[in-house]
Amino acid sequence: MQGSLSSLEIVILAAGQGRRMASNRPKVLQTLAGRPLLQHVLDAARALEPRTIHVVYGHGGDAVPNAFRESDIHWVLQLEQRGTGDAVRCALAHIASDARVLVLLGDVPLIAPDTLRTLVDRAERGLALLTFSTPTSNQYGRIVRNAKGAVERIVEWRDATPAERAIDEVNSGIIAAPATHLARWIPRLDSANAQGELYLTDIVALARADQVDVCAIAPRSLYEVQGVNSRADLAELERIFQGEQAHHFMEAGVQLLDPRRFDVRGTLTAGRDVCIDVGCVFEGVVELAEGVSIGPHCVIRNSRIASGVRIEAHSVIDGAEVGPDCVIGPFARVRPGTSLGAKARIGNFVEVKASVVGAHSKINHLSYVGDAVIGSGVNIGAGVITCNYDGAHKHRTVIGDHAFIGSDTQLVAPVEIGAGATIGAGSTVTKDAPAGELTLSRAAQKTISGWRRPQK
């Protein structure tokens, strides 16, 4: 790319309300792939390594800046939403005169950094527009060219004639230009139009009047310039985004049983020969090593899954470290702070929270284990509960290697079960159980002769 971008400053317009979203949240805080629309635009902006990022906000008050605590954002308040030209005017007061300025839209989330680099490069001396062709039924601003094919002006839909509305080349709203040119054009904008606003698009005609070059480039993919104005728009872009993610992972060797039913809402890395069934959702930062198999309708969030792990249907794994060759589920829940050793098994309707489970240990059925340290080779039977909470504080349960905990046992923490110990089924254990011994606590069984069940 020609020229240096060391002087680049980016303005993101994020002051709109988005009435068609029918939401109390500002439009740029609506989420796509689990992140606010504005976050996607900020990520694209940061990829260009600009000198400054200015975000113009307005509707929703401080809700937008409060959602983003990054120190590299300069927030600019547009008190009254008087159009895109006025929004840029608000930011221009904070932009250095030697800057090259890129204007982005906070509700156009899938713009690609490579497209933006090309646009900014073309704006080294003049005005560069990002335009695209689309069916004429939409209400985008039209690109009006002269007989020689040069861009003359942009006319907004409400102000366009029938002939102008028939033009299929339209404005994306994304532009780039030197700050010195913008400083000359912005004060000359007026609101003599159908909406009574200051249109940023009017700078095109001003540039032509000043004999400044105006060029238009197109994005590589149409979805890059698709904006969000409604819930339907948001849903459409969600599927486009997820489709692109699915394609990327399949190219890298991941088997997706149905790419149309696959959702990444954060950052996912996956090794070769990972197999993912339908309806799975990945949130936050998730790492899948080679050979991981994930059954249908699982949710995995902020977790690392080692090689060879099999996760059965309808399981939720959140904030966990899962060692190699473990088996989890179906219908299991592994909660934050849990670490599973190699070849551990967490079975159906088992919940594990803030616990270390050693290698080859098994918790197979209908049990809850919380705030526990479990050794290797431990067997925990069905219906076992670690009673870790006394109403005010959490307490720890420690189970030694190769212990056997019988079904329907309650381990009342703090308590320690020694290595090789056996706890008889149906016990309530309130004291430490010695290693290698059988411990049980049961009421004596008795039969009451002649007892009859009450009758209605």
Tokens of 326: 């473990």
Alpha carbon distance 173, 129 (integer Å)? 8
Asked if residue 102 has pLDDT above 50, the reply is yes
pLDDT at 21: 84
CB atoms within 10 A of CB 246: 20
Backbone angles phi, psi at 165, to 5 degrees: -65, -20
Reply yes or no on whether the pLDDT at 1 is more than 60. no
The verdict on 323 and 186 lying in the same domain is: no
Confidence of residue 177 (pLDDT cuts 50, 70, 90): very high
Whether residue 50 contacts residue 8, with contact meaning beta carbons closer than 8 Å, is answered with yes
Same domain assignment for residues 163 and 245? no
pLDDT digits (tens, 9 = 90+) for 333-376: 999 999 999 999 999 999 999 999 999 999 999 999 999 999 99
The average pLDDT across 163-183 equals 94
Cis? peptide before 26, omega within 30° of 0: no
Contacts of 102 (CB under 8 A, 6+ apart): 8, 9, 10, 11, 45, 48, 50, 116, 119, 120, 123, 174, 175, 176
The model's confidence at residue 81, banded by pLDDT at 50, 70 and 90, is confident
Is the residue at 86 inside a domain? yes
In a domain, 447, yes or no: no
With a CB cutoff of 8 Å and minimum separation 6, the contacts of 348 are: 312, 329, 330, 331, 332, 364, 365, 366
Q: In the listed set 225, 247, 273, which residue is the last one of a domain according to the structure? A: 225
Mean pLDDT value across the chain: 94
User: Each residue of 370-404: pLDDT tens digit?
Assistant: 999 999 999 999 999 999 999 999 999 999 999 99
Looking at the structure, tell me whether residues 165 and 271 fall in a common domain. Answer: no
* pLDDT tens digit sequence for 325-336: 999 999 999 999
135-228-235 Cα angle (round to 5): 95
In a domain, 336, yes or no: yes
At 143, the amino acid letter reads I
Say if 13 falls within a structural domain: yes
Q: Could you give the CA distance from residue 289 to residue 2 in angstroms, rounded to a whole number?
A: 40
* Closest CA relative to residue 151, chosen from 176, 131, 177: 131
Q: Looking at residue 368, which CATH number applies to its domain?
A: 2.160.10.10
Please report the pLDDT score of residue 417 as a whole number.
Answer: 98
pLDDT of 456 = 86
So what's the pLDDT on residue 118?
Answer: 96
On whether residue 1 sits in a domain, the answer given is no
Nearest to 197 by CA among 78, 26, 60: 78
Strand partners, 265: 283
| 365 counts as catalytic | yes
Please give the torsion angle defined by the CA atoms of residues 99, 105, 108 and 109, in that order, rounded to the nearest 10 degrees. 60
CA-nearest of 247, 293, 284, 292 to 264 is: 284
Residues 272 and 247 in one domain: yes
240 with 216, same domain: the answer is no
With a cut of 90, say whether residue 140 has pLDDT above it: no
Residues 220 and 266 in one domain: no
Q: Is the pLDDT of residue 79 over 90?
A: no
Name the burial class of residue 213, with classes exposed (0-12), middle (13-18) and buried (19+) by CB atoms within 10 angstroms of its CB: middle
Residue 420 is predicted with a pLDDT of: 98
Residue 274 belongs to domain spanning: 231-439
Predicted local confidence at residue 139, as pLDDT = 83
Q: Is residue 445 part of a domain?
A: no
Output the domain CATH number for residue 168.
Answer: 3.90.550.10
Q: How many domains does the chain have?
A: 2
Residues 184, 269 share a domain: no
Q: What is the mean pLDDT of residues 230-254?
A: 95
Of 204, 225, 246, the residue that ends a domain is 225
DSSP per residue, 190-253: ---STT-S--GGGHHHHHHHTT--EEEE--SSGGGG----SHHHHHHHHHHHHHHHHHHHHHTT
Distance between start and end Cα atoms, the chain: 89
82 lies in the same domain as 105? yes
- When pLDDT is averaged across residues 279-301 and rounded to a whole number, the result is 98
Do 344 and 382 belong together in one domain?
yes
For the segment 57-73, what is each residue's pLDDT rounded down to a tens digit?
998 889 999 999 888 99
For the cut 90, the answer to whether the pLDDT of residue 91 exceeds it is yes
CA distances from 290 to 29, 105, 271 (A): 35, 39, 4
- Is residue 3, in this structure, part of any structural domain at all? no
Whether 321 shows a pLDDT value over 50: the answer reads: yes
* Residue 208: pLDDT over 70: yes
Phi-psi region of 351 (alpha: psi -120 to 50; beta: other; left: phi over 0): beta
Residues 210, 79 share a domain: yes
- If one compares 190 and 317, the residue with the highest pLDDT of the two is 317
Catalytic residue, chosen from 74, 314, 365, 395, is 365
Do 221 and 98 reside in the same domain of the chain?
A: yes
Residue 318's beta-bridge partner residues? 301
- Last residue of a domain, which of 225, 252, 273? 225
**Same domain for 180 and 279?**
no
- Tell me which of 77-81, 112-116, 220-224, 303-307 is least confident: 77-81
Nearest to 155 by CA among 187, 202, 188, 198: 202
Region 431-445 average pLDDT: 93
Q: Is the pLDDT of residue 6 over 80?
A: no
The pLDDT value given to residue 289: 98
Q: Residue 193 has what pLDDT?
A: 84
Q: How many CB atoms lie within 10 A of CB 385?
A: 18
85, part of any domain: yes
List the structure tokens of 155.
């006319």
Burial class for 101, CB neighbours closer than 10 Å (0-12, 13-18, 19+): buried
- Count how many Cα atoms sit within 13 Å of the Cα of residue 69 in the half-sphere of its side chain: 0
pLDDT value at residue 2? 41
Query: Distance (Å, rounded) from C-alpha 303 to C-alpha 293?
Result: 15
Cβ neighbour number for residue 180 with a 10 Å cutoff: 13
What is the predicted pLDDT for the residue at 383?
97
pLDDT score for 445:
86
Mean pLDDT for the stretch of residues 24-45 = 95
